[in-house]
């Protein structure tokens, strides 16, 4: 099992949106996915409960339950646990990051968000966990060009010495309308630009979690159920490969 912590000390950056969409992508790729909802607001729990079709399981939990829940999930054959954290809770961020194989720091390309990101980096950096910034709610391109604020944001984030996910997520209404139905834009509108950028974000995430390709780990305690150990093909390598420049999908 691998674990992702989706974090940002700032509120409203899109932690829950990113958590649920990566969870849906992983589920649709055949992984057994669990969202650990550490936010008492319960937004990702609401998302999972609104869903009318099979999908990731969701577990609302508090800080003290995180490590037991992770242990139980692994033993139950979960492939991917995604921890959706709350804002302004450094202790939660530390615990989630320590539990994680990959930390995704969600940030909007705005002055206010970019100023606030330093506090998240300060909490995360001493832990030395694999991490990447995910730029969310980026304004769409004009005349095939990214607004200067987006380019400057990517440059500033890269300056922290952490990876910037090579695909950003734009501000699009479909993220909000799909969410209310417990869906991802990839499910609600498979041919949309949002679906395309989410697919690329999932490919990047998958490559960071399983560089040699996803392979289901055997259950630790329930060895009698070991039949589920089957390899899944890795999606074709894309722009997420090491050294690629961060890019944003066209509008
Ligand atoms: N890419 C996007 N395009 C349009 N709207 C978005 C996008 N990402 C998030 N939103 C909207 O922004 C708001 C905040 O998003 P979300 O709840 O995911 O943030 P959060 O970081 O989890 O917030 P909190 O800190 O309160 O937990 C929501 O209304 C959500 O629908
Ligand atoms: Mg949230």
* pLDDT reported for residue 237: 34
Nearest atom in ligand 1 to the alpha carbon of residue 18 is 18
Tens digits of per-residue pLDDT, 26-80?
A: 999 999 999 999 999 999 999 999 999 999 999 999 999 999 999 999 999 999 9
Average pLDDT, whole number, for the chain? 88
- In short, whether 86's Cβ falls inside 6 Å of ligand 1 is yes
**182 contacts 170 by C-beta, under 8 angstroms:** no
Determine the Cα–Cα distance for residues 173 and 192; give it in Å rounded to an integer: 11
What does DSSP assign to residue 210?
-
Residue extents of the structural domains in the chain = 2-208
Distance CA 117, CA 70 (A): 27
Q: Which of 6, 17, 106, 178 to mutate to test the pocket of ligand 1 (most atoms within 8 A of CB)?
A: 17
The model's pTM is: 0.89
CATH H-level, domain 2-208: superfamily: P-loop containing nucleotide triphosphate hydrolases (3.40.50.300)
137 lines ligand 1 (CB under 6 A): yes
C-alpha 37 to ligand 2 mean position (Å): 9
pLDDT bin (cut points 50, 70, 90) of residue 224 is very low
Q: Ligand 1 atom 27: the closest Cα is on which residue? A: 86
User: Shortest CA distance to 38 belongs to which of 2, 101, 81, 80?
Assistant: 81
pLDDT given at position 232: 35
């Amino acid at each position: 099992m691998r674990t992702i912590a989706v974090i940002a000390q700032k509120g409203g950056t899109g932690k829950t949106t990113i958590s649920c969409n990566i969870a849906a992508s992983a589920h649709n790729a055949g992984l057994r996915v669990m969202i650990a909802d550490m936010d008492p607001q319960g937004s990702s729990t609401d998302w999972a409960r609104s869903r009318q079709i099979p999908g990731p399981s969701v577990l609302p939990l508090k800080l003290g339950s995180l490590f037991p829940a992770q242990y139980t999930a692994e033993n139950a054959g979960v492939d991917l646990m995604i921890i959706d954290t709350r804002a302004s809770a450094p202790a939660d961020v530390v615990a989630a990051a320590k539990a994680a194989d990959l930390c995704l720091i969600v940030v909007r390309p705005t002055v206010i968000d970019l100023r606030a990101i330093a506090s998240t980096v300060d909490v995360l950096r001493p832990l030395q966990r694999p991490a990447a910034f995910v730029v969310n709610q980026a304004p769409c391109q004009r005349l095939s060009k990214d607004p200067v604020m987006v380019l400057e944001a990517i440059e500033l984030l890269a300056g922290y010495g952490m990876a910037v996910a090579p695909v950003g997520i734009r501000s699009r209404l479909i993220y909000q309308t799909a969410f209310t139905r417990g869906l991802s834009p990839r499910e609600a509108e498979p041919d949309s630009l949002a679906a395309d950028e989410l697919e690329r974000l999932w490919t990047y995430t998958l490559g960071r979690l399983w560089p040699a390709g996803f392979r289901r780990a055997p259950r630790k305690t329930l060895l009698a159920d070991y039949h589920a150990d089957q390899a899944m093909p890795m999606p074709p390598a894309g722009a997420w490969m090491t050294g690629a420049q961060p890019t944003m999908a066209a509008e």
